[in-house]
Amino acid sequence: MRFKLFFDLENELIPIQYRKTILSYIKKSLEDYDVEEYKKFYNNQDPIMKPYCFSVFLKDSEFKEDTILVHSKKMEVAFSTSDYNAGIVLYNAFLQKKNEKFSLYQNSMTLQKMILLPEKEIKDEIVVIKFLSPLCVRNRVEQKDYYYSYEDEEFLDTLKLNVKIQLKNSHLSEDMVQDLKLEPVNTKKVIVKFYEQKIETSVGTFTLSGKRDLLEYLYKTGIRKSS
């Protein structure tokens, strides 16, 4: 299930770490909608695997060191999930917040519209995909996080490890990950600042190959198929 939220900003200025505010918006929306549903996603400090991902689009924007000037004063947030029930809960939680202001640094964001997005069918075992938001590949070793871009030797193995963890909440076998490949086509490394950390990520176009059912699952959980 895929859908997009359209926000109006009160003014042009937002922080470079705007993703923290999006996470706060998700939590607040879920908690106000249904506390029990909120606990399925967030339960104090328990590490719960989230069944969704999101991408943020800022039209006509200009990036500074610590802030972003969004000249259009428009923000779009696209959500993807392979869990239909989770998608319905999220959609209804956000719908309840329509026309309500939410604080964003020295600014505010107001949800104006929501639309469902069509999904494409994955028919082959190799597809060209495009990451519009940064792909973050992380490995946690002894309570320390390591992040890899496509330039790093550890990138593919760590990506496979991430996918295996994600598949624990699906009907697919982890063995399917063995043949998974993600190869850069028109790609670049991007450093993202998040909670005072500088994280290596990757954006752009890749070739993704593997079992068709696995590619279908990854597409539904957030990968965009390039047209």
Residues found in the chain = 227
202 CB neighbour count, 10 Å cutoff: 23
pLDDT reading at 227 higher than 80? no
pLDDT reading at 28 higher than 70? yes
- The DSSP bridge partners found for residue 113 are 6
Residue 101 is classified by DSSP as E
Residues 113 and 138 occupy one common structural domain: no
Helix (H, G, I), strand (E, B) or coil at 26: helix
Residues 219 and 183 occupy one common structural domain: yes
- The DSSP bridge partners found for residue 167 are none
- What is the pLDDT, as a whole number, of residue 66? 84
- Domain of 155, in residue numbers: 126-225
- pLDDT (average), residues 154-167: 91
Question: What pTM did the predictor assign?
Answer: 0.79
Residues 156 and 91 occupy one common structural domain: no
Cα Rg for the chain, rounded, in angstroms?
18
| Cβ partners under 8 Å of residue 114, min gap 6 | 3, 4, 5, 6, 91, 94, 95, 98
Structural domains of the chain, count: 2
Residues 12 and 90 occupy one common structural domain: yes
Boundary residue ending a domain (67, 85, 117): 117
pLDDT in tens, 182-212: 999 999 998 887 777 788 999 999 999 999 9
- pLDDT (average), residues 134-162: 90
- What is the pLDDT, as a whole number, of residue 226? 44
- pLDDT (average), residues 173-182: 93
- What is the pLDDT, as a whole number, of residue 149? 94
Contact 219, 126 (CB under 8 A): no
Residues 112 and 169 occupy one common structural domain: no
Residues 88 and 170 occupy one common structural domain: no
Of 84 and 133, more confident: 84
Residues 158 and 198 occupy one common structural domain: yes
CATH number reported for the structural domain that contains residue 12 in this entry: 3.30.70.1890
Residues 70 and 132 occupy one common structural domain: no
Residue 174 is classified by DSSP as G
Confidence of residue 225 (pLDDT cuts 50, 70, 90): very low
Residues 61 and 140 occupy one common structural domain: no
